[in-house]
Chain A
Amino acid sequence: MSTRQNKKGMNRRAFLQGAAVGLAGLALPLDNAHASFWDAFFQKHFREMNDAEIKKVISRLENECEEKYKKTVSIGIEKPITGVQFGYGLDLSRCIGCRRCVYACVDENNQSLNPQIHWISVLRFKKGDKWVDLENSEKYYNPEKVPEKDYFYMPVQCQQCENPPCVRACPTQATWKEPDGIVVIDYNWCIGCRYCMAACPYGARRFNWASPNRPAEKINSRTHYLGNRPRYKGVVEKCTFCIQRSRNGRYPACVEACPVGARKFGNLLDPDSEIRYAIEHKRVFRLKEDLNTYPKFYYFFAYGR
């Protein structure tokens, strides 16, 4: 974080505090009950805060969670590790369309149950029909048992593009690509304009159309600021390769949940990683390659059946 940025941030804060005093004069009270409201209102962009400011914000956010869910939620800020670029592999020949990844993701990442939010969409295609353009996909398939004889399945989630159209579109820089390749969102900076959703070619972004709803006992209390911490009404969210796990050396929840081992994950810069093995030994492709978004999410077929 450069000093220039900090200085700019300070100036903005000073300006806005001035504006706040002005507003207060117009009748908005500034007593203790409102202090937290104003702290939230003036909260700076995550990347423009210094460590002390981040600490203060985290403790305020943790208190808010404590109050809301009556349990301790820790909000981490684990930084990217140098020399790491996360990549993901999905073996289409193994996927059986069971959606265990979807629900593992929901539980790990504190997605809203009502309205229902899923970061992973599993698409079903009929064998032999056209499918790569996704036009004939079926998202709401609901058979007694999977896999079905005449169909195959393709899960889609945020592709963590190297050249992400959503980041370019965001008018406030509330979403950006981290040095380890994960595209993240500052839920306290997003204004909810949804331009990123129009820009995403993979339908990966989700909006909180209402206040997210999740019972306290189902809240995963190990969270990351840029990942699975509880979100707000009116902001966008999406898959972060389970940033709270992956930056601590763990697999994303969907990788762990997959019963057939279709999901691979690892460091693209490590020649011995699983993902590098898949890229080097299988025929991999990426979704909508014609758009030059360069996803770090590779599909492949380990074997044919």
Chain B
Amino acid sequence: MTIIRNFLVAWKLSLKGDKKFYAWLGFLAVLMAIGANAYMDQMNRGLIVTAMRDQVSWGFYISNFTFLVGVAAAAVLLVVPAYLYNFKPIKEIVLFGELLAITAITMCIMFIMADLGQPLRVWHLMPFIGTMNFPSSLLAWDVIVLNGYLVINTAIAFYVLYQVSIGKEYKMSVIGPLIILSIPWAVSIHTVTAFLYNGLSARPFWNASILAPRFLASAFCSGPALMIIIFQLIRKLSEVEIDDRALFKIAELIAYAMAINLFLLGAEIFKEFYSGSIHSEPIKYLYFGIHGKARLVPWIWTATILNIIAFFIFLFPKSRQNFTTLNIACFFMIIGIYIEKGMGLVIPGFIPDPLGEIYEYSPSSTEVLVTIGIWATGALIYTMLLKFSLPIYTGKLSFQKKGVA
């Protein structure tokens, strides 16, 4: 019972803040309301309010989903040095990475829900109460690994917080196995999501074995880049001290991941364009346009250029250890991967469609507004998770002696 009481005390405290805090919450609430309003309209009128059609049957929602799976998977990049190699500067911040993973997975689930034609029937795909098509459907696998990852990270984060709150070191004997499990599991969420596309022989653009490795490589770029930005904000807005060495270590890891990602991209580009079979039409559409239709071309070149610039900034210790250039590189990489792993991956899978038709897609206003609403909800969730855990983490709030300190 004390644990519930303590939780409520911490929760109450997390709702208190200065004017800036309430202004931020208010801002997010407005965006969420706009998103919810757009979603209600979509519920009433159907997905016709999106720009998706039979030819391009997945769009902006699934693109965002794919990007965010990568962000969630990237938490593992902190877990490995923190727990396995006991690298202290990162061990101090791994919690924030786990909270980010929790947030990203929650957003993934929201994007899937926004994309469903019959969201009320979602229980049909749950194990035991529905008729989940396991192990046949990769979507069933994705439901399992994503929800499992959410549970694992929630368990680790809240166990660690609880131990800190009662003034104890966390026991590796208790949490160790879960942490070990979380590492392959993080890899699995991204691999399964890649296989979801990869397994479809109908879509030559996705049906390439390089897809899963590329997914992982790019996930280890965008997720950590996002973390570097967020950690600097945390450092600025709270009393948590974050060692520069932790941020620079993450930046170094990004450089390796991006090198691999660019190499894999090169391998893919070579194979597609040199062999030049009919199966290269989608990638031709993506990079150069086909039959005069080229809506994605400016986007993918923007992404490619941003990624390459960011790579060189991350590559050299001098530029990645300078916060101005580091932050520029992080922004470039987040935007670059958001395009490449979002619309740049999902849309060309559908163009040309299996009967050779080209339907050009760009998101409708409803899709954009719902997406903004979900991102705002994610920001709110992460804010509240931080607000809840920071006082405990810094020792401001402790239940060590007799309840509230």
- A234 with B57: CB separation less than 8 A: no
Tell me which of A133, A191, A206 contacts B125 (CB under 8 A).
A191
Taking the nearest CB of chain A, how far is it from the CB of B235, in angstroms? 41
Is A211 interfacial (CB-CB < 8 Å)? yes
Q: A165-B201, A199-B200 are in contact. Are A192 and B117 (CB under 8 A)?
A: yes
Is A45 interfacial (CB-CB < 8 Å)? yes
Residues of B within 8 A of A16 (CB): 123, 129
Is A30 interfacial (CB-CB < 8 Å)? no
- A165 with B202: CB separation less than 8 A: yes
Looking at A82-90, A170-178, A271-279, A295-303, the stretch in contact with chain B turns out to be A170-178
Is A202 interfacial (CB-CB < 8 Å)? yes
Residue of A nearest to B134 (CB): A171
Report the Cα distance A169→B196, complex, angstroms.
9
- B118 with A190: CB separation less than 8 A: yes
Report the Cα distance A194→B54, complex, angstroms.
9
Is B229 interfacial (CB-CB < 8 Å)? no
Q: A135-B352, A194-B57, A197-B54 are in contact. Are A12 and B133 (CB under 8 A)?
A: no
- B139 with A169: CB separation less than 8 A: yes
Is B266 interfacial (CB-CB < 8 Å)? no
Q: Considering the complex, which residues of chain A in the window 163-219 have a beta carbon less than 8 Å from any beta carbon of chain B?
A: 165, 168-174, 189-195, 197-203, 205-211
Residue of B nearest to A167 (CB): B136
Is A139 interfacial (CB-CB < 8 Å)? yes
- B131 with A191: CB separation less than 8 A: no
- B129 with A15: CB separation less than 8 A: yes
Is B121 interfacial (CB-CB < 8 Å)? yes
Report the Cα distance A203→B354, complex, angstroms.
5
Report the Cα distance A200→B357, complex, angstroms.
14
- A191 with B357: CB separation less than 8 A: no
Is A41 interfacial (CB-CB < 8 Å)? yes
Q: Considering the complex, which residues of chain B in the window 377-391 have a beta carbon less than 8 Å from any beta carbon of chain A?
A: none
Report the Cα distance A139→B356, complex, angstroms.
9
Is B342 interfacial (CB-CB < 8 Å)? no
Residues of A within 8 A of B115 (CB): 193-194
Report the Cα distance A42→B136, complex, angstroms.
24
Report the Cα distance A210→B16, complex, angstroms.
44
Residue of A nearest to B139 (CB): A171
Residues of A within 8 A of B196 (CB): 195
Taking the nearest CB of chain A, how far is it from the CB of B193, in angstroms? 12
Residues of A within 8 A of B357 (CB): 137, 139, 203
- B46 with A233: CB separation less than 8 A: yes
Taking the nearest CB of chain B, how far is it from the CB of A216, in angstroms? 21
Is B138 interfacial (CB-CB < 8 Å)? yes
Is A259 interfacial (CB-CB < 8 Å)? no
Is A1 interfacial (CB-CB < 8 Å)? no
Is B349 interfacial (CB-CB < 8 Å)? yes
Is A123 interfacial (CB-CB < 8 Å)? yes
Q: Considering the complex, which residues of chain A in the window 141-177 have a beta carbon less than 8 Å from any beta carbon of chain B?
A: 156, 165, 168-174
Tell me which of A135, A209, A235 contacts B278 (CB under 8 A).
A135
- B129 with A191: CB separation less than 8 A: no
- A200 with B48: CB separation less than 8 A: no
Residues of B within 8 A of A191 (CB): 116-119, 121-122, 124-125
Residues of A within 8 A of B58 (CB): 194, 198
- A12 with B129: CB separation less than 8 A: yes
Is A24 interfacial (CB-CB < 8 Å)? no
- A172 with B118: CB separation less than 8 A: no
Residue of A nearest to B290 (CB): A135
Taking the nearest CB of chain A, how far is it from the CB of B102, in angstroms? 23
Q: A135-B352, A200-B354 are in contact. Are A168 and B137 (CB under 8 A)?
A: yes
Q: A16-B129, A168-B137, A172-B130 are in contact. Are A210 and B203 (CB under 8 A)?
A: no
Taking the nearest CB of chain B, how far is it from the CB of A234, in angstroms? 3
- B355 with A198: CB separation less than 8 A: no
Report the Cα distance A209→B47, complex, angstroms.
5
- B353 with A203: CB separation less than 8 A: yes
Question: Taking each of A168, A169, A193, A199, which has the highest tally of chain B beta carbons within 10 Å of its own beta carbon?
Answer: A193
Taking the nearest CB of chain B, how far is it from the CB of A47, in angstroms? 8
Is A291 interfacial (CB-CB < 8 Å)? yes
Is B340 interfacial (CB-CB < 8 Å)? no
Q: A45-B131, A169-B139, A208-B46 are in contact. Are A234 and B355 (CB under 8 A)?
A: no
Is B274 interfacial (CB-CB < 8 Å)? no
Residues of B within 8 A of A121 (CB): 355
Residues of A within 8 A of B124 (CB): 45, 172, 174, 189, 191
Is A48 interfacial (CB-CB < 8 Å)? yes
Residues of A within 8 A of B133 (CB): 170-173
Taking the nearest CB of chain B, how far is it from the CB of A33, in angstroms? 17
Report the Cα distance A207→B116, complex, angstroms.
11
- A135 with B117: CB separation less than 8 A: no
- B125 with A209: CB separation less than 8 A: no
Is A35 interfacial (CB-CB < 8 Å)? no
Interface 1/0 per residue, A38-55 and B, CB below 8 Å? 000100010010000000
Report the Cα distance A16→B143, complex, angstroms.
20
Is B132 interfacial (CB-CB < 8 Å)? yes
Interface 1/0 per residue, B43-60 and A, CB below 8 Å? 001111010111101100
- B54 with A201: CB separation less than 8 A: no
Q: A135-B281, A171-B143, A191-B125 are in contact. Are A165 and B354 (CB under 8 A)?
A: no
Is B140 interfacial (CB-CB < 8 Å)? yes
Residues of B within 8 A of A134 (CB): 354-356
6 sample A-B contacts, Cβ–Cβ < 8 Å, listed by A number: A135-B352, A137-B355, A198-B57, A198-B197, A202-B354, A209-B46
Q: Please give 18 more A-B residue pairs, beta carbons under 8 A apart, in addition to A191-B118, A191-B121.
A: A12-B129, A16-B123, A45-B131, A123-B356, A133-B278, A171-B139, A173-B132, A190-B118, A190-B121, A191-B116, A194-B58, A197-B57, A207-B54, A209-B50, A210-B45, A233-B46, A233-B117, A236-B117
> Which residues of B are in contact with A by a Cβ distance under 8 Å?
45-48, 50, 52-55, 57-58, 112, 115-125, 128-133, 136-140, 143, 196-197, 200-203, 278, 281, 349-350, 352-357
> Which residues of A are in contact with B by a Cβ distance under 8 Å?
12, 15-16, 41, 45, 48, 115, 121, 123, 133-137, 139, 156, 165, 168-174, 189-195, 197-203, 205-211, 232-236, 291
Which 3 A-B pairs have CB atoms at the shortest separation, nearest pair first? A192-B117, A234-B117, A201-B202
